Chain A
């Protein structure tokens, strides 16, 4: 959402454009919103809504306020003069959500907000409010690994595994990812100070990136090759081999990218195709 107006549009400008009543949050009208999400379908709001948005909706129900809160929206604007019930206001008040009630219908309200564009001195703030509407089915998780913390080694791979199982990734693939993540995690615990692990999952690929701060690997090619020569068939049959971390990763991941700067750290990216 980085556009010319990273701060977005102040709620008071929307409120005056719509001549909307401020139902909750009169003191918060200078807060900016960075996108507008116009929908009555709360499952979508929750899945695709961007944090910092304003929700325009005709669904006058507590679910609207709860979903907006969970998706980290800043405001809920009820259209067509719908006035939220006491329970909704109370919830919004508690959670710091601004609630407006506008008389316009959804199209008029959208058009007016988009039109604020023309009155702004700066170029096109409305562009900011229109982030590309990509309902991308991607999910990301981040984990931290502490180097030298042998007691917690394996925690990240256990979490990664649990996530993949819940999503319903095929068990054999889950295991490959878990083994690679475990090996990567062990490398961090043994050789680095700390690392950030990222899991990115979409419908065609699983990516695990382990970015560590540590001594680094002097010869990446050698590190990768060493395993190839020493790993026995038997260890391969087992799916792992003690001290065979990298080759084991290479065997279980579809794409491995290892880059390292001596004295700084190592970045290990492992990718797995989802069939």
Chain B
């Protein structure tokens, strides 16, 4: 099934593989998935590309759509910006230099890192928080799935999103400028690609939330690239063993797990939250104006943060341990030139191109009286449903099923508690 036109999604759905387990239905935080007639169906505008379904499906029904090395090769000068999560995928003892070399071996001309900009943005965030005392808490835009969640389910919180760009986008911009300067090539001949740890980043590049354009030319999936890199990384490690002193490598505060953005902003009134279940709770509190004493909120969709992304290979806890080890070995603190950063901040270097706007989702009806009528139907249906959330009707919860009925997208007889016929349909 193709996603509806209008919203780009980072995965395709291969219905033929679907065995109707319905695990994805329950995992989806925005209730965007349904089993209709035994096949998976997606409500496109609700999907925030968090990748929970990808992780939940044992059959591989959801296949990520990313760019490939073929897309990379279309450019004359090829720059890759890896997610900091990449360095945590090959074990604690593997040197970052081997991974970087392996990337170059796959065909890239240059590797650009986000670490410095992650540090710099800590400074920028602090400054912005100090200068802007109106809306609280300000919410980080680092996680695209969280930004989509706000656009879809919390349109009021759009004004809380901090209008500062994120490390990878700034890195892409700087990397392109640098490459153009060094090679003398026109900007369009330079291809800048990101290695993403989750599908939501793919979408943020293909269809940015602020409806501007990304500084990246494309995105590669970490999972897809992993197998290509692994033999090379291992070979390089073997060869590198002999080579003495370890390369000095600026392995800074990459934002790869929960708490690191908060840490970059600095102690004080920061709150970090990860995992969409928890994010939703916090957002509800913010909307009821409960968390007005918090200055800054780091909210990440994946449990543990980006190390838990759907494209990550290594277990997120092991990945986190690996990164801690790498930071100890390669030094995480290098002084940044605060004054220079602030100067660039004032010049608009870190600003977001366009403001992020809410994304309207389908309500019960455009016409309020009709919508209220449907709501009444929904409530009456819901009151009589078994409320066991068994999922056999194809909706994730009884509540969602009642809403689907009121929208005419499901039939009352789809509930197995009301009709035995429905049981046969589900148990194919």
A residues with CB within 8 A of B: 43, 46-47, 62-63, 66-67, 69-71, 87, 91, 135, 137-139, 154, 157-158, 161, 163, 165-169, 171-172, 174-175, 178-179, 182, 201-203, 234, 237-240, 242, 274
Are A167 and B412 in contact (CB-based, < 8 A)?
no
Are A167 and B373 in contact (CB-based, < 8 A)?
no
Are B358 and A178 in contact (CB-based, < 8 A)?
no
> Which of B290, B369, B411 is within 8 Å of A154, CB to CB?
B290
Residues on the B chain within 8 Å of A178, using CB: 287-288
Distance between A241 CB and nearest chain B CB, rounded to angstroms: 9
Q: How far is the CA of A135 from the CA of B373 in the complex (A)?
A: 9
Q: How far is the CA of A137 from the CA of B367 in the complex (A)?
A: 11
Q: Which of the segments B17-25, B202-210, B270-278, B417-425 contacts the partner chain?
A: B417-425
Residues on the B chain within 8 Å of A234, using CB: 133
Using CB atoms, name the residue of chain B closest to A154.
B288
State whether the Cβ of B55 lies closer than 8 Å to any Cβ in chain A.
no
Given A63-B412, A139-B376, 14 more pairs with CB closer than 8 A: A62-B418, A66-B412, A66-B413, A67-B412, A70-B383, A87-B420, A154-B288, A158-B287, A168-B365, A175-B156, A182-B288, A202-B372, A238-B135, A242-B292
Residues on the B chain within 8 Å of A163, using CB: 375
Are B368 and A274 in contact (CB-based, < 8 A)?
yes
Residues on the B chain within 8 Å of A47, using CB: 373-374, 376-377, 380
Residues on the B chain within 8 Å of A161, using CB: 284, 287-288
Distance between B48 CB and nearest chain A CB, rounded to angstroms: 16
Q: How far is the CA of A240 from the CA of B328 in the complex (A)?
A: 45
Q: How far is the CA of A259 from the CA of B162 in the complex (A)?
A: 42
> Which of A154, A167, A172, A274 is within 8 Å of B364, CB to CB?
A167
Supposing A69-B384, A87-B421, A154-B285 touch, asked if A168 and B292 sit within 8 A by C-beta, the answer is no
> Which of A67, A171, A201 is within 8 Å of B358, CB to CB?
A171
Residues on the A chain within 8 Å of B379, using CB: 139
State whether the Cβ of B403 lies closer than 8 Å to any Cβ in chain A.
yes
20 contacts between A and B (CB under 8 A): A47-B373, A47-B377, A69-B384, A70-B412, A137-B368, A137-B372, A137-B373, A139-B375, A139-B379, A161-B288, A166-B363, A166-B375, A167-B368, A168-B365, A174-B156, A178-B287, A179-B289, A201-B372, A202-B372, A240-B289
The 3 A-B pairs at the shortest CB distance, nearest first, are namely A168-B363, A137-B369, A182-B288
Distance between A243 CB and nearest chain B CB, rounded to angstroms: 12
Distance between B168 CB and nearest chain A CB, rounded to angstroms: 29
State whether the Cβ of B366 lies closer than 8 Å to any Cβ in chain A.
yes
Residues on the A chain within 8 Å of B136, using CB: 238
Q: How far is the CA of A169 from the CA of B364 in the complex (A)?
A: 10
Using CB atoms, name the residue of chain A closest to B281.
A158
Q: How far is the CA of A268 from the CA of B379 in the complex (A)?
A: 26
Residues on the A chain within 8 Å of B332, using CB: none
Distance between B155 CB and nearest chain A CB, rounded to angstroms: 4
Are A167 and B288 in contact (CB-based, < 8 A)?
no
State whether the Cβ of B397 lies closer than 8 Å to any Cβ in chain A.
no
Are A87 and B419 in contact (CB-based, < 8 A)?
yes
Residues on the B chain within 8 Å of A71, using CB: 380
Distance between B366 CB and nearest chain A CB, rounded to angstroms: 7
Which among A87, A91, A171 has the highest number of chain B CB atoms within 10 Å?
A: A171
State whether the Cβ of B371 lies closer than 8 Å to any Cβ in chain A.
yes
Q: How far is the CA of A202 from the CA of B369 in the complex (A)?
A: 7
Residues on the A chain within 8 Å of B411, using CB: 63
Distance between A234 CB and nearest chain B CB, rounded to angstroms: 8
Q: How far is the CA of A173 from the CA of B363 in the complex (A)?
A: 15
Residues on the A chain within 8 Å of B421, using CB: 87
Are B377 and A46 in contact (CB-based, < 8 A)?
yes
Distance between A88 CB and nearest chain B CB, rounded to angstroms: 10
Residues on the B chain within 8 Å of A135, using CB: 373
Residues on the A chain within 8 Å of B288, using CB: 154, 157-158, 161, 178-179, 182
